[in-house]
A and B are shown apart, each in its own frame.
Chain A
Amino acid sequence: MATKGFFTDATVCIGCKACEVACKEWNGVPADGFEWTGRSYDNTGGLGHSTWRHVTFVEKERDGLPAWEFSSDVCKHCEHAGCLEACPTGAIVRTEFGGVFVQPDICNGCGYCVVACPFGVVDRRPEDGRAFKCTFCYDRQKAGLEPACAKACPTASIQFGDLDELRERAAARVTELAERGVTDASVYDPRHTSVGGTHAIFLVRGDVRAFNLPLNPQVPTVLLARGWRSAALTAILMVVSVWLAL
Chain B
Amino acid sequence: MENRSDPLKPPVWTWEIPVYFFVGGAAGAAAVIAGVGAATGAEPGVVADARWIAAVGAAVSPVLLISDLGRPERFLNMLRVFKWQSPMSVGAWTLAAFSAAIFGAISLRLLWPDATVLALAADAAAGLTGAVLATYTGVLIGATAIPVWSRHIATLPLHFGASALGVAVSLLELLGHRAPALNRLGLGAAAIETVLLIQIEWARDAVNRPLLTGSSGALVRAGAWLTGPLPLALRLIPGLRLAAAVSMTTGSLVTRFGWIAAGRRSATMPAAQES
**Among B33-41, B107-115, B214-222, B227-235, which stretch is in contact with chain A?**
B33-41
CB pair B132–A212 under 8 Å, yes or no, is no
CB distance from B238 to the nearest CB of A (A): 18
CB pair A245–B12 under 8 Å, yes or no, is no
CA distance A56 to B155 in the complex (A): 38
From A39, A56, A85, give the contact of B86 (CB < 8 A).
Answer: A85
Q: Closest chain A residue to B76 by CB distance? A: A108
Does A211 have its Cβ within 8 Å of any Cβ on chain B?
Answer: yes
Which A residues lie within 8 Å of B6 (CB)? Answer: 46, 120
Q: Closest chain B residue to A211 by CB distance? A: B4
Q: Closest chain A residue to B151 by CB distance? A: A223
CB pair A246–B33 under 8 Å, yes or no, is yes
Take A111-B11, A245-B181 as given contacts and tell me if A235 and B142 are in contact as well, using a CB distance cutoff of 8 Å: no
Within 8 A of A (CB), among B106-141: 127, 131-132, 134-136, 138-141
Which B residues lie within 8 Å of A90 (CB)? Answer: 80-81, 83
CB pair A221–B145 under 8 Å, yes or no, is no
Which one of B11, B70, B132, B134 has the greatest number of beta carbons of chain A within 10 Å? Answer: B70
Take A117-B9, A238-B134 as given contacts and tell me if A56 and B88 are in contact as well, using a CB distance cutoff of 8 Å: no
CB distance from B73 to the nearest CB of A (A): 8
CB pair A115–B267 under 8 Å, yes or no, is yes
CA distance A238 to B188 in the complex (A): 10
Does B92 have its Cβ within 8 Å of any Cβ on chain A?
Answer: yes
CB pair A123–B12 under 8 Å, yes or no, is yes
| B245-274 vs A, Cβ < 8 Å mask (1 yes, 0 no) | 000000000000000000100010000011
From B10, B72, B78, B138, give the contact of A227 (CB < 8 A).
Answer: B138
| A118-130 vs B, Cβ < 8 Å mask (1 yes, 0 no) | 1111111100111
Within 8 A of A (CB), among B54-90: 68-72, 74-75, 77-78, 80-81, 83, 85-89
Which A residues lie within 8 Å of B157 (CB)? Answer: 227, 230-231, 234
Within 8 A of A (CB), among B13-64: 13, 29, 32-33, 36-37, 40, 42, 46
CB pair A220–B89 under 8 Å, yes or no, is no
Interface residues on chain B, number (Cβ under 8 Å): 77
Does A171 have its Cβ within 8 Å of any Cβ on chain B?
Answer: no
From A45, A214, A234, give the contact of B162 (CB < 8 A).
Answer: A234
Interface of B is mostly: helix
CB pair B185–A241 under 8 Å, yes or no, is yes
Which B residues lie within 8 Å of A185 (CB)? Answer: none
CB pair B88–A122 under 8 Å, yes or no, is no
Take A120-B7, A239-B127 as given contacts and tell me if A111 and B70 are in contact as well, using a CB distance cutoff of 8 Å: yes
Does B237 have its Cβ within 8 Å of any Cβ on chain A?
Answer: no
CA distance A237 to B71 in the complex (A): 37
CB distance from B123 to the nearest CB of A (A): 13
Q: Closest chain B residue to A107 by CB distance? A: B71
Within 8 A of B (CB), among A40-72: 45-48, 54, 56-60
CB pair B88–A88 under 8 Å, yes or no, is yes
Our count of residue pairs bridging A and B at CB distance below 8 angstroms stands at 232
Which A residues lie within 8 Å of B185 (CB)? Answer: 241-242, 245
CB pair B3–A220 under 8 Å, yes or no, is no
Does A178 have its Cβ within 8 Å of any Cβ on chain B?
Answer: no
Does B190 have its Cβ within 8 Å of any Cβ on chain A?
Answer: no
CB pair B69–A224 under 8 Å, yes or no, is no
Which A residues lie within 8 Å of B46 (CB)? Answer: 246
Does A182 have its Cβ within 8 Å of any Cβ on chain B?
Answer: no
CB pair B13–A246 under 8 Å, yes or no, is no
CA distance A54 to B3 in the complex (A): 13
Does A82 have its Cβ within 8 Å of any Cβ on chain B?
Answer: yes
CA distance A113 to B153 in the complex (A): 17
Take A117-B9, A235-B135 as given contacts and tell me if A108 and B75 are in contact as well, using a CB distance cutoff of 8 Å: yes
Does A74 have its Cβ within 8 Å of any Cβ on chain B?
Answer: no
CA distance A72 to B1 in the complex (A): 18
CB pair A57–B81 under 8 Å, yes or no, is no
CB pair A59–B71 under 8 Å, yes or no, is no
Does B161 have its Cβ within 8 Å of any Cβ on chain A?
Answer: yes
Within 8 A of B (CB), among A85-114: 85-91, 106-112, 114
From B3, B135, B149, B273, give the contact of A234 (CB < 8 A).
Answer: B135
In the complex, the 7 A-B pairs of residues with the closest C-beta atoms, listed nearest first:
A109-B70, A46-B5, A129-B70, A108-B74, A235-B131, A227-B139, A231-B157
Contacts A56-B3, A107-B71 supplied; 18 other A-B pairs, CB < 8 Å: A89-B80, A90-B80, A91-B77, A108-B71, A111-B11, A114-B9, A123-B12, A131-B70, A210-B1, A214-B274, A215-B274, A218-B145, A224-B85, A228-B139, A230-B139, A234-B134, A239-B131, A245-B188
